[in-house]
Structure 1
Amino acid sequence: MARTIQSLERAAAVLRLLAGGERRLGLSDIASTLELAKGTAHGLLRTLQQEGFVEQDPLSGKYQLGAELLRLGNSYLDVHELRARALVWADDLARSSGESVYLGVLHQQGVLIIHHVFRPDDSRQVLEVGAMQPLHSSALGKVLSAYDPVAHSDVLEGERRRFTGHTVTDPKKLEQVLALTKGRGWGADVEETWDGLASVAAPIHSRRGLLLGAVGVTGAVERVCDAGELRARIVASVRDCARAISRDLGAGRFQAGRGAV
């Protein structure tokens, strides 16, 4: 088994700690949480600070993630072929649907949002790139779980939190939902993850027919649904967008539209 570098492991642990919870932590909090001597923790933080990965608030003395991580994160997203190919199509989907558009991939038993297009109106919105959505209740998650064997196992064997009264947590019922999702070629979430919101998503495939991710829209139930059902126009727009991105990634006509009925 290959040996690991302890200082790098500890530095990574510091960054993960700062990425969650209160986001700003003092030296004592970091040292005690990671079970490190204060001197060791301070040395790690000082090095990370010099490299721009960590910043220290001059008033409180507490530490937080630095701007260099954002730059590296954006660099990763820019070179991510899926996101690069989806940019124009996602913008078009936002305009045609009038709703927010999300591009997601499987990551650590959840859906990582790698691209987010704001709803095209003047409302105040928060960029959700880097946010996570659940596999079992979100439209993006259902699509990934229906088409990807790893995600399928994760969603059935992992924790399934009940977010609303509509969230499906029973494994047998969820299996049926995933079968329906794959059979019709798109996934739905009507107030299963967030009260008052509905989503629809469709899969994106590679030239070899492999699932790469999913694209979807999210908006208020009264706009996305009609009499409790997702509007056919929006479903069609999402599926057309997913097919277009898949074709740009080299998928053939059949692969780009697979799962459709």
Structure 2
Amino acid sequence: MAIQSVNRAIDILSLFTVSQPRLGITEISNSLNLSKTTVHGLIKTLAQRGFLQQDPETRKYSLGFTIYEFGTRVSETLKINQISYGHASRLAQKTGQTIRVAVWDLDTILITLNVSSDLQNPYSQPSGIRVPAYCTALGKIILAHLPEKHLSRYLKKVEYAAHTKHTLTDTKLLLKELQTIKAKGYAEDREERFLGISCVAAAIFDHTGLPFASLSISGNETLLKAKNLSEMIHDMKLTATEISRNFGYIPSAV
């Protein structure tokens, strides 16, 4: 019973998203197919512990400051952020673009760090956001370097969604692009996740040579047409390699 309650509490917390930050008991009850009595009991406990907070006017709930506190602890102890921050900051200042670091987690891309220059991208996504791998530069560069069996497993279970008219939703076309990406050493996002936003990304490898994270330069739709794009990509790849070295990665001599 205790385990069931924990699972249900986690399910409730998972319902709150950036696009759906506030929910009422009825909405939660309907979403999880649980009785209002059960939901009310769980929410009462979560609110008492600071995981949820209630708006006194709307009576709806949103995530509480305990969640923020835990998230801050994770961010501060996340090694990839500690190692990447200085590198990302220098790259942001040099390129004038938003630099993003993400990790491969649960077959999705979890953005862990955003660093903007003074000319920051107004559409930059906050850290802590999960995005699909197949339609983002941060994700495609990792997919391109995954071992074949891992990539095959991912492709069998992925559920494509056309986020924009540029999103690839065909496995054959995606595989063809992944081959090109691996050969070039970087990936591109041509407004595939959001219209008006383009990115380039390089992989970050661990001591075994496997990709576990990625680094991107994000800008508006003109990024991929920039005169200094080649220079930015070169600097990005060097930065990703330097971060990888901190995790014991030894680049192969070419």
Asked whether the two chains share a fold, i.e. TM above 0.5, the reply is yes
Which residue is 2:177 aligned to?
177
Residues 80-103 of structure 1 deviation map (CA, whole Å, 9 limit, x = unaligned): 211211111111111111101111
Query: Partners in 1 of 2:217 and 2:97 — Cα distance?
Result: 6
Q: What amino acid maps onto 1:218 in structure 2?
A: S
Query: Partners in 1 of 2:36 and 2:138 — Cα distance?
Result: 43
Q: What amino acid maps onto 1:144 in structure 2?
A: I
Which residue is 2:57 aligned to?
59
Cα distance 1:188–1:32, how it changes in 2: closer, same or farther (>3 A)?
closer
Query: Partners in 2 of 1:109 and 1:253 — Cα distance?
Result: 25
Query: Partners in 2 of 1:159 and 1:114 — Cα distance?
Result: 23
Q: What amino acid maps onto 2:4 in structure 1?
A: Q
Give the TM-score taking structure 1 as reference length: 0.87
Query: Partners in 2 of 1:174 and 1:46 — Cα distance?
Result: 46
Contact 1:191-1:197 within 8 A present in 2 as well: yes
1:202 aligns with 2:202: yes
The alpha-carbon deviation at position 155 of structure 1 amounts to: 4.1
* CA-atom RMSD in angstroms: 2.4
1:135 aligns with 2:133: yes
The alpha-carbon deviation at position 157 of structure 1 amounts to: 4.6
Identity %: 30
Which residue is 2:76 aligned to?
78
Q: What amino acid maps onto 1:211 in structure 2?
A: P
Does the residue aligned with 2:39 lie in a helix, a strand or coil?
helix
User: Aligned ranges for residues 1-261 of structure 1 at < 5 Å?
Assistant: 5-19=3-17, 22-121=20-119, 124=122, 128-149=126-147, 150-151=150-151, 153-155=153-155, 157-226=157-226, 231-254=229-252
Query: Partners in 1 of 2:168 and 2:17 — Cα distance?
Result: 29
Number of residues of Structure 1 aligned to a counterpart in Structure 2: 252
What are structure 1's unaligned runs of at least 5 residues? none
Deviates more, 1:56-65 or 1:130-139: 130-139
The alpha-carbon deviation at position 224 of structure 1 amounts to: 4.1
Give the TM-score taking structure 2 as reference length: 0.89
Q: What amino acid maps onto 1:202 in structure 2?
A: A
Q: What amino acid maps onto 1:162 in structure 2?
A: A
Residues 154-201 of structure 1 deviation map (CA, whole Å, 9 limit, x = unaligned): 246522223333333322221111111112211112233333332111
Cα distance 1:20–1:37, how it changes in 2: closer, same or farther (>3 A)?
farther
Q: What amino acid maps onto 2:249 in structure 1?
A: A
The alpha-carbon deviation at position 36 of structure 1 amounts to: 2.4
Q: What amino acid maps onto 1:47 in structure 2?
A: T
Contact 2:142-2:213 within 8 A present in 1 as well: yes
Contact 2:100-2:111 within 8 A present in 1 as well: yes
Query: Partners in 1 of 2:197 and 2:204 — Cα distance?
Result: 23
Cα distance 1:183–1:4, how it changes in 2: closer, same or farther (>3 A)?
farther
Cα distance 1:32–1:123, how it changes in 2: closer, same or farther (>3 A)?
closer
Query: Partners in 1 of 2:177 and 2:55 — Cα distance?
Result: 48
Query: Partners in 1 of 2:24 and 2:138 — Cα distance?
Result: 37
Query: Partners in 2 of 1:233 and 1:156 — Cα distance?
Result: 36
